[in-house]
Structure 1
């Protein structure tokens, strides 16, 4: 059987905002398995038919006993409408047992009427309200009591209803058990759907945060270093104006223009990255080095192969960050880049030798290295960055990123 679950699906690409909270009263929905309106109509119908047919009924003598038992049966039947979470199981068992006993007694003391309907409906509700074992025991008790009253002629109305009707009074318990099983199955399905919905929203929220982090890294790579370099050159040019050294002013101005052009190229790379355009790694890395003034600085080893777009984008960003740091903290130092296509990984190494010109770098935010680590972590790789302590590049800096696959 296929159930159509009334669970609202989240709109595509629109996860809930962090500040949004559930509406008051919202929570796991419960399934009753019965339409309350139908249940109330049937309950009232049984009571009304009983009031019109059960005799004798009065305010004294035998009629008073019938009226009291009728009132007890009506109250027991009306209690079916009580929510399950407000009636403990043991109390429901006591109430239904009392109702069944009262229904059998009503059959016995009345001369005519439909008193047996109370027994049928209470037995059926016991299957719905109680667990299977106590419900079956109570239904058996109902059949024995009602059948015994009619079979042994224990009341004036025994001749109007056959004993088999009394014995069958507990049969509706099977319908109640079936209804309860269906209700629980639908409730479990709805709870599973709600859990899946919550998981989907959490996943969408996580994806949004990851994408925000990615955009933040790209914005940092494009703007932070480029604008800092441009600002540094403009401040230098402004300071040189007071000295009258126009040649150095022109040099600083030209450097600033070069940084602007480089920033435009980086912005184009960012657009490619955000759109996930496929970029050839070796060619893009070579173009980046040429535009940075490091011609013939790239060495490629191993068998060149195509790598996933995400690997290409992140390795280019790491290389860009390393080159920018080299320009800031080791101006004039030689830069060498190695791209190794190993059997089980792709390795990028960026080395720079010590500075040969004065360093004018400001305080570092530390976001560059954090961005490198985040990018590599997304690809299950590793990154190391630190000073070179031996060899011809001693005193310089090395950044190495290893991406598996």
Structure 2
């Protein structure tokens, strides 16, 4: 659009401005027409490729050439060059640069007509020369609209980038949650099954087939429990809500710790996220207890307070030999990550006194959502 307007002005100048020839005054008019046309075409050069001061100097020279053309030519729309050049200056440069140059254009063109510099247009009023600086206002308004549009586009692009970054963060968080769930299921199930199979293998040397069968049955029971754990994981990934107390009770019974749960306070439903994470923390704590303190006592307490829920898992010292080398070392890290997602706190450490001295305790406190 702007290119078509520029070409139209240039064409109008070459068609109407006279005299135009190869010598004398006609040559001067032709040279000035070329200079004005080049200055007008320079409006479309990319801003980033040229220094602003260099462009400003070029446009200023174009205005001088336009004023000279007004004085030298005798007919035609030569004043259009000054109008369009000043308008572009208002669009391209800030007011501290464009306004003085527009005023200079008005004074220069007005003076050329007022003092009859050169042959000039005898019928053009000198006031027309003064008006050549007026288009700077239109250029400034267009500049303001363009900058506002660029700001809106920039804000939209920033919002889009922020939305993409948020989506990537959410995807990474979801991947981390899935990794924790998979780890919990595998660690809890495979560690327990491996423990029972190792026990059965050790008992074969003693010839005590009854205890071998018992260990084998426990391994089968843990396989069934693994299937339940897989179902819990699917529920967690789908954000299905599970009953906290009932699920925790079933989890303890399946791991051989019947009647190990104590519930205090008024039982209330928690959010699906809070329930799933507490269950996983309990599961990991029970896995660690079975791994590091086999045969030890286990006590679990679920306390509902006014604005928070506390899960405590405590185990006594090991009653059998501990098998070294099991576990990934990620259990406690995963528990801390889960509690952090709920803006809660987690403490874990050895029990120093009481009947469970020498054991281990994990306590997770999460606020109500």
Q: What is the CA–CA distance in structure 2 between the aligned matches of 1:250 and 1:333, rounded to whole Å? A: 22
TM-score of the pair, normalised by structure 2: 0.95
Which residue, 122, 126, 146 being the options, matches 2:89? 126
Which residue, 160, 176, 189 being the options, matches 1:197? 160
2:354 maps to: 391
In structure 2, the CA distance between the partners of 1:321 and 1:335, relative to structure 1 (3 Å rule), is same
Matches within 5 A, 1:240-279: 240-241=203-204, 244-279=207-242
Deviations 1:185-204 (A, max 9, x none): 11111111111111111111
8 A Cα contact 1:150 1:166, kept in partner: yes
Q: What is the CA–CA distance in structure 2 between the aligned matches of 1:376 and 1:286, rounded to whole Å? A: 21
Offset, 1:240: 4.6
More helix by share: 2
For structure 2, which runs of at least 5 residues remain unmatched after alignment?
none
Q: What is the CA–CA distance in structure 2 between the aligned matches of 1:239 and 1:390, rounded to whole Å? A: 34
8 A Cα contact 2:36 2:62, kept in partner: yes
Q: Are 1:280 and 2:243 matched, yes or no? A: yes
Offset, 1:386: 1.4
2:313 maps to: 350
In structure 2, the CA distance between the partners of 1:354 and 1:215, relative to structure 1 (3 Å rule), is same
Offset, 1:238: 4.5
2:295 maps to: 332
Deviations 1:196-225 (A, max 9, x none): 111111111111111111000100111123
Secondary structure of the equivalent of 1:347? Answer: strand
Secondary structure of the equivalent of 1:183? Answer: helix
Q: What is the CA–CA distance in structure 2 between the aligned matches of 1:111 and 1:92, rounded to whole Å? A: 30
Matches within 5 A, 1:42-57: 42-57=5-20
Q: What is the CA–CA distance in structure 1 between the aligned matches of 2:324 and 2:264, rounded to whole Å? A: 33
Secondary structure of the equivalent of 2:216? Answer: helix
The worse-fitting range, judged by mean Cα deviation, of 320-329 and 357-366 is: 357-366
Q: What is the CA–CA distance in structure 2 between the aligned matches of 1:269 and 1:185, rounded to whole Å? A: 53
Deviations 1:102-161 (A, max 9, x none): 101100011111111111110111101111122111111111221222223223232232
Q: What is the CA–CA distance in structure 2 between the aligned matches of 1:76 and 1:264, rounded to whole Å? A: 80
In structure 2, the CA distance between the partners of 1:182 and 1:71, relative to structure 1 (3 Å rule), is same
Q: What is the alpha-carbon root mean square deviation over aligned residues?
A: 1.7
8 A Cα contact 2:187 2:327, kept in partner: no
1:369 maps to: 332
In structure 2, the CA distance between the partners of 1:243 and 1:289, relative to structure 1 (3 Å rule), is closer
8 A Cα contact 1:106 1:115, kept in partner: yes
Q: What is the CA–CA distance in structure 2 between the aligned matches of 1:117 and 1:213, rounded to whole Å? A: 67
Matches within 5 A, 1:168-187: 168-187=131-150
Deviations 1:321-355 (A, max 9, x none): 11111122222222111111122321111111122
1:65 maps to: 28
Secondary structure of the equivalent of 2:29? Answer: helix
8 A Cα contact 1:92 1:129, kept in partner: no
Q: What is the CA–CA distance in structure 1 between the aligned matches of 2:312 and 2:187, rounded to whole Å? A: 23
8 A Cα contact 2:299 2:313, kept in partner: yes
Deviations 1:17-74 (A, max 9, x none): xxxxxxxxxxxxxxxxxxxxx2221111111111111111222211121111111111
Q: What is the CA–CA distance in structure 1 between the aligned matches of 2:125 and 2:174, rounded to whole Å? A: 76
Offset, 1:400: 0.7
Deviations 1:263-305 (A, max 9, x none): 1111111111111112222222122212222222111112222
Q: Are 1:215 and 2:162 matched, yes or no? A: no
For structure 1, which runs of at least 5 residues remain unmatched after alignment?
1-37
Q: What is the CA–CA distance in structure 2 between the aligned matches of 1:359 and 1:81, rounded to whole Å? A: 81
Secondary structure of the equivalent of 1:399? Answer: strand
